[in-house]
Each structure stands twice: as structure tokens, then as C-alpha cells.
Chains A and B, each alone.
Chain A
Amino acid sequence: NAGVTQTPKFRILKIGQSMTLQCTQDMNHNYMYWYRQDPGMGLKLIYYSVGAGITDKGEVPNGYNVSRSTTEDFPLRLELAAPSQTSVYFCASSYSGTASYEQYFGPGTRLTVT
């Protein structure tokens, strides 16, 4: 059971470039999330999904897009990278979206945009 996996671990992008951050979970969780974590700040929700084919915006969705074609995969797309998107990105999943279910996190992707 690998849990939540993310690729790549590190990436440097030039301004205006695009990339996709990959996220896969093998726990058959319905709920999946993308967060960004800036130094000294709390986790900010970018997008989430309650099941295959369903996605919704979180607190900071601008500049990002997601898709959920399968239960396992939830990729995050950056179309035109900007320095403000320099951050650590975490993917997470949970069995349910109700309050008591913990979220399981992937190891993160450290992205620098220059």
C-alpha cells in the first residue's frame, strides 16, 4: 500500500511555462485535495474532488486546473507559471468528506518559478 504518491518531487519552471503535478492514491478514497503551503503559512486549498468526474474550487484556485477521470488520479495543471506559484504542493485524500475522516498526504512537490 503506497498511500498517496506525487511526482515530481522538485521542479524549476520559467515564467510562462506549463506543467502537470501528478497525484495517485491506492486507498480507494473518494475525496482528493490539492493544497499549497507557503513558508510560515497554513495549508491553502486549491481544488478538491468528491469522486471521479467531480471537481470544485477551493480557496485559491486561480492559475490552476484539475481533472478527476479515475478514483486513483487527481492531476493539477499550471498553465502559465508565475513567481507567485512558487510553493510546496501537497496532494491529499480521505475516505469521506465528513468531519471525522483524516486526510492522508503525499510527500509534496517543491516548485520554484523564476
Chain B
Amino acid sequence: GQNIDQPTEMTATEGAIVQINCTYQTSGFNGLFWYQQHAGEAPTFLSYNVLDGLEEKGRFSSFLSRSKGYSYLLLKELQMKDSASYLCAVTDSNYQLIWGAGTKLIIKP
């Protein structure tokens, strides 16, 4: 079966760095997305990786290792507004998006 695993919840301190991991087992791989979802709101796109390595976009970076079925989202200089759920999603061989359950990130002052 297809499976995406993420930690359920993480806590970090304002101004610090946090890494959210995602491991996947899917039928084929055509890319990995990270989305941010604030409570009660819709998911919004953060990043896309299809090749191995690190993609940096401001305070957020995303890393992919296809051989290990592994990705992480790195958030630097955490702000209170970063409190949200972070969803990992993988595009499988049929170009369907398979979603993880999301990681709820709690930022403390």
C-alpha cells in the first residue's frame, strides 16, 4: 500500500529552527510537495522537490532523498505565525497526490 509518515505534533521556540520529517512508500514517485495549513483554513503551497537535494526559499527549505524515501522541511527563525500544520504529499506513478496526515507545529514564545 501507499503510506506517508510524519510526526503528529512538534513544539519549538520562537526564533529557533525546526525540522519536520516525512517518509514515504508509494507506487512510483513524481515529486513531493509541502503545504502549510493554518487551523480552520485551506492548505497553501510551500515547496516542491523532484530531484535529490535541498531547495531553499527564504526561511523555509525542503530536502529530498529519493533513495531513502525521505524528505524534511526546515523552518528557520521561527515566528508565531508559523504555528500551523505542515502536510507532506507525494505524487505517485499515476500522478495522484498521496497526502500525509500532517504535523502540527506549536511555536512557544
Report A's interface with B, CB cutoff 8 A.
40-45, 58, 90, 97-100, 102-108
Contact = CB atoms under 8 A, between A and B. Distances in A.
Interface stretch (B11-19, B54-62, B70-78, B91-99): B91-99
Given A99-B31, A102-B33, A107-B42, A42 B50 contact: no
Interface in B44-97: 44-45, 48, 50, 87, 89, 91, 95-97
Contact of A105 (B42, B48, B95, B100): B42
Contacts of B99: 42-44
Interface of B: 4, 8, 30-31, 33, 41-45, 48, 50, 87, 89, 91, 95-102
Given A41-B101, A42-B99, A42-B100, A105 B43 contact: yes
A28 B91 CA distance: 22
A106 B95 contact: no
Given A102-B45, A105-B43, A107-B41, A42 B95 contact: no
A107 B40 CA distance: 9
10 contacts: A40-B101, A42-B89, A42-B101, A43-B43, A45-B96, A99-B50, A99-B91, A99-B95, A105-B44, A108-B41
B30 to A, nearest CB: 4
A106 B98 CA distance: 19
Given A97-B95, A99-B31, A102-B33, A42 B45 contact: no
Contacts of B30: 98-99
Contacts of B101: 40-42
Contacts of A90: 42-43
Nearest to A3: B42
Contacts of A97: 95
